C-alpha cells in the first residue's frame, strides 16, 4: 500500500485507528480457520460516515476491503487473500435501541452477541441465534455468516432474526434494506441476501433485529447410546414426529471425552449422547415435549435417560456443549483440532449415516474426526484432529474432506449449515452450486463491479483450500 493511501485512511479515521505494523498484519491475517494471509492495513471506523469514506476510497483505488468482527470465523472469511484493508468493525459497538412495543432492537455491527443478550435480558427477551462463540461473535459477523447455534432448531438462524439493515454499498452509498416491521412483501428481500454474503456485497453498519421472549421453563435431557447409529436414528424420528425441541444436539464419543477432559463434567463415555431441550411458558407443554423425545430415544436403545429443569445442572451440560470446539484441542496432546469440513447439513433421515460416514472416512485416512452438532436443525459438525506439523496429515485431511462432501452432496445435503464458505469450503460449495454459480457471480458483479468487497471468497475462492493461502500452522515438509 502506498504511503499516500495510508495517510488518506488516517485522515478519515484518525491516526489512532490505523495500524500497519507487521505484527498487526500478522495478527489480523488469521482467524479461527486454518488460513493465513496478510492485509495491507487495518482500519477501525467509528461510525457510518467513516465506513462510507473508506469504501469510496477503496472503490476508487480498487483496494480490497474486508470487514471483520470478532475474528472467530472458521472458514477464512476474514482472511485477506488478496491483501487490502481489513476493516475492524469492533468500535461500532453500540446498542442503539431496544424497542419493546414494536419488538425489535437496532444495533451496530460490532456489538457482541452476549452483550446484546445481556441488555435484552432485563426486558425478558433474547436474540435467538446463540452461536457457541456468542461471547466473542459480533452481530456483523453473525449476519455475514448467517450464524446459528444450538437453539436454531426452534428459533431459526440469524437470517430469520434480521428485519432490516443499513448497508454501505461498494460505491460508498448508504442504503436501507428490509423494514422495522415483522413482515415485508415488496421488492427483493435484500437484507436476507446480505445475510450470509460474507461481506462480499456490502458492509452492514446497522441491523434491526427481532427478539423473542425468554421462556419461563426450560428442561434439558440427556440420553446415552452405545451406537451412534441409534442416536442418529433417534434424531431423525424426533424431528419427523413433529416434536418441537429448543435444542437437539448429538455428541460422539470423541467429543464426550474431550469435554470431560477439559471441563470435568463427568459425562458417561458412551458411543454417542443426545442432548434434548424443550422450553415454553407452560410446564405441561415442556413436559409433553420432553416425554415425547425420551420415548423416541428409548425406542432407539437410548439409556441413562434423565432430564432436569434445574438451572445449575442445565448450565453445566450446556456449557460443556458450548465449549466443545476448544475442548477438542485437548483430546490428544499430539493432535490439534482444525476447522475443516465442519458444519455440513444433511436430511434428518441421513443423520445416522452421516455420523457413521465421518468415522469411517477418518479411519480410512488415518486421522481423528468427531461427529457432533445441532442435529435437530440438520447440522452435523466435525472437527479434524491431526498433527498439524505433518504434511501427510494435511493430505489425508484433504482426501477425507473430499469424500465427506461427496457423501453430503449425494444425499442432497449442503456444504455449510452455519459457519459459511470463506476459503475452506469453496471447492464443495462450487460443485454443489454449479448450476447457480453464474447467477451468484452476476449478483456480485452488479453490486460490486470493481470486486473490492472481500474478494476471493465463496465462488471466487481457489479450488484447493490447502494452497489457497499459507496455513497458519508450521508444516514440516
Which CB sits closer to another protein, 28 or 429? 28
Instruction: List phi, psi (to 5°) of 456.
Output: 85, 15
Which CB sits closer to another protein, 148 or 460? 148
Which residues, 255 to 274, sit near another protein by CB under 8 A? 262-263
Helix (H) or strand (E) holding 433: none
Which residues, 136 to 165, sit near another protein by CB under 8 A? 136
Q: How far is CA 369 from CA 1, 386, 400, 401, 409, in A?
A: 41, 9, 10, 10, 19
Which CB sits closer to another protein, 32 or 454? 32
Which residues, 81 to 100, sit near another protein by CB under 8 A? 88, 90-91, 93-98
The yes or no reply on residue 133 touching another protein (CB under 8 A) is yes
Instruction: Give the separation between CA 467 and CA 33, rounded to whole angstroms.
Output: 14
Q: How far is the CB of 50 from another protein (least distance, A)?
A: 14
Q: How far is the CB of 262 from another protein (least distance, A)?
A: 5
The yes or no reply on residue 101 touching another protein (CB under 8 A) is no
Pairing mode of beta strands 162-168, 174-178: antiparallel
Instruction: Give the separation between CA 235 and CA 249, rounded to whole angstroms.
Output: 9
Secondary structure E strands in 16-64: 18-19, 35-36, 41-43
Which CB sits closer to another protein, 28 or 225? 28
**Cell 481423528 sits on residue:** 368
Instruction: Give the separation between CA 290 and CA 256, rounded to whole angstroms.
Output: 22
Secondary structure E strands in 372-451: 372-373, 379-381, 384-386
Instruction: List phi, psi (to 5°) of 405.
Output: -65, -35
Which CB sits closer to another protein, 303 or 391? 391
The yes or no reply on residue 368 touching another protein (CB under 8 A) is no
Which CB sits closer to another protein, 108 or 230? 108
Specify whether the CB–CB gap between 453 and 201 falls below 8 A.
yes
Which CB sits closer to another protein, 106 or 457? 106
Which CB sits closer to another protein, 213 or 311? 311
Pairing mode of beta strands 217-225, 162-168: unpaired
Specify whether the CB–CB gap between 166 and 175 falls below 8 A.
yes
Helix (H) or strand (E) holding 216: none
| Binding letters toward another protein, positions 20-59, x by CB under 8 A | -xxxx-xxx-xxx-----------x---------------
| Binding letters toward another protein, positions 324-353, x by CB under 8 A | -xxxxxx--xx-xx-x--------------
Closest CA to 263 of 340, 336, 338, 325: 325
Specify whether the CB–CB gap between 323 and 384 falls below 8 A.
no
Q: How far is the CB of 44 from another protein (least distance, A)?
A: 8
Helix (H) or strand (E) holding 175: strand 174-178
Secondary structure E strands in 238-354: 247-252, 272-280, 303-308, 336-338, 343-345
Secondary structure E strands in 182-326: 203-210, 212-213, 217-225, 247-252, 272-280, 303-308
The yes or no reply on residue 210 touching another protein (CB under 8 A) is no
Q: How far is the CB of 310 from another protein (least distance, A)?
A: 15
Which residues, 436 to 475, sit near another protein by CB under 8 A? 472-474
Q: How far is the CB of 34 from another protein (least distance, A)?
A: 10
**Considering only 70-78, 240-248, 296-304, 342-350, which stretch makes contact with another protein by CB under 8 A?**
70-78
Which residues, 298 to 327, sit near another protein by CB under 8 A? 323, 325-327
The yes or no reply on residue 112 touching another protein (CB under 8 A) is yes
**Considering only 18-26, 54-62, 150-158, 225-233, which stretch makes contact with another protein by CB under 8 A?**
18-26
**Considering only 115-123, 219-227, 235-243, 286-294, which stretch makes contact with another protein by CB under 8 A?**
115-123
* Residues lying near another protein in the complex (CB under 8 A): 19, 21-24, 26-28, 30-32, 44, 70-72, 88, 90-91, 93-98, 107, 110-112, 114-116, 118-119, 122, 133, 135-136, 262-263, 323, 325-330, 333-334, 336-337, 339, 388-389, 472-474
Amino acid at each position: 500500500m502506498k504511503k499516500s493511501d495510508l495517510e488518506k485512511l488516517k485522515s478519515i479515521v484518525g491516526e489512532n485507528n490505523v495500524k500497519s505494523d507487521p505484527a498487526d498484519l500478522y495478527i489480523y491475517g488469521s482467524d479461527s480457520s486454518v488460513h493465513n494471509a496478510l492485509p495491507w492495513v487495518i482500519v477501525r471506523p467509528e461510525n457510518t460516515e467513516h465506513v462510507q469514506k473508506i469504501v469510496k476510497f477503496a472503490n476508487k483505488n480498487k483496494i480490497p476491503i474486508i470487514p471483520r468482527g470478532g475474528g472467530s470465523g472458521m472458514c477464512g472469511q476474514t482472511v485477506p487473500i488478496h491483501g487490502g484493508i481489513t476493516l475492524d468493525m469492533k468500535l461500532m459497538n453500540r446498542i442503539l435501541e431496544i424497542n419493546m412495543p414494536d419488538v425489535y432492537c437496532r444495533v451496530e455491527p460490532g456489538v457482541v452477541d452476549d452483550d446484546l443478550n445481556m441488555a435484552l435480558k432485563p426486558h425478558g427477551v433474547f436474540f435467538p441465534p446463540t452461536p457457541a462463540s456468542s461471547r466473542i461473535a459480533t452481530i456483523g459477523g453473525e449476519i455475514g455468516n448467517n450464524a446459528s447455534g444450538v437453539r436454531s432448531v426452534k428459533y431459526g438462524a440469524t437470517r430469520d432474526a434480521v428485519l432490516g439493515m443499513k448497508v454501505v454499498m461498494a460505491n460508498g452509498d448508504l442504503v436501507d434494506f428490509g423494514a422495522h416491521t415483522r413482515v415485508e412483501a415488496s421488492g427483493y428481500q435484500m437484507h436476507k441476501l446480505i445475510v450470509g454474503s460474507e461481506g462480499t456485497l456490502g458492509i452492514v453498519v446497522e441491523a434491526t433485529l427481532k427478539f423473542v421472549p425468554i421462556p419461563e421453563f426450560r428442561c434439558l435431557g440427556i440420553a446415552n447410546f452405545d451406537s451412534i447409529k441409534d442416536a442418529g436414528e433417534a434424531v431423525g424420528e424426533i424431528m419427523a414426529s413433529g416434536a418441537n425441541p429448543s435444542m437437539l444436539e448429538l455428541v460422539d464419543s470423541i467429543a464426550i471425552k474431550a469435554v470431560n477432559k477439559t471441563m470435568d463434567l463427568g459425562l458417561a463415555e458412551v458411543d454417542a449422547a443426545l442432548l434434548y431441550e424443550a422450553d415454553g411458558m407452560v410446564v405441561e407443554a415442556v413436559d409433553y415435549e420432553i416425554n415425547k423425545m425420551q420415548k423416541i430415544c428409548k425406542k432407539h436403545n437410548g439409556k441413562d435417560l434423565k432430564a432436569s429443569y434445574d438451572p445449575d445442572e442445565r448450565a453445566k451440560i450446556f456449557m460443556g456443549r458450548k465449549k466443545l470446539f476448544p475442548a477438542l484441542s485437548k483430546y490428544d496432546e499430539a493432535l490439534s483440532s482444525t476447522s475443516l469440513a465442519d458444519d455440513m447439513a444433511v436430511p434428518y433421515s441421513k443423520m445416522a449415516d452421516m455420523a457413521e460416514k465421518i468415522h469411517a472416512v477418518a479411519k480410512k485416512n488415518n486421522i481423528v474426526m468427531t461427529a457432533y452438532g445441532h442435529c435437530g436443525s440438520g447440522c452435523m459438525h466435525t472437527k479434524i484432529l491431526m498433527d498439524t506439523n505433518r504434511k501427510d496429515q494435511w493430505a489425508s485431511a484433504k482426501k477425507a474432506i473430499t469424500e465427506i462432501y461427496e457423501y453430503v452432496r449425494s444425499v442432497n445435503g449442503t456444504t455449510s449449515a452455519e459457519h459459511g464458505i470463506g476459503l475452506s469450503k469453496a471447492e464443495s460449495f462450487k460443485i454443489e452450486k454449479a448450476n447457480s454459480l453464474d447467477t451468484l457471480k452476476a449478483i456480485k458483479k452488479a453490486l460490486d463491479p470493481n470486486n473490492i468487497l472481500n474478494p476471493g471468497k465463496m465462488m471466487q475462492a481457489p479450488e484447493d483450500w490447502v494452497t489457497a493461502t499459507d496455513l497458519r500452522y508450521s508444516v514440516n515438509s
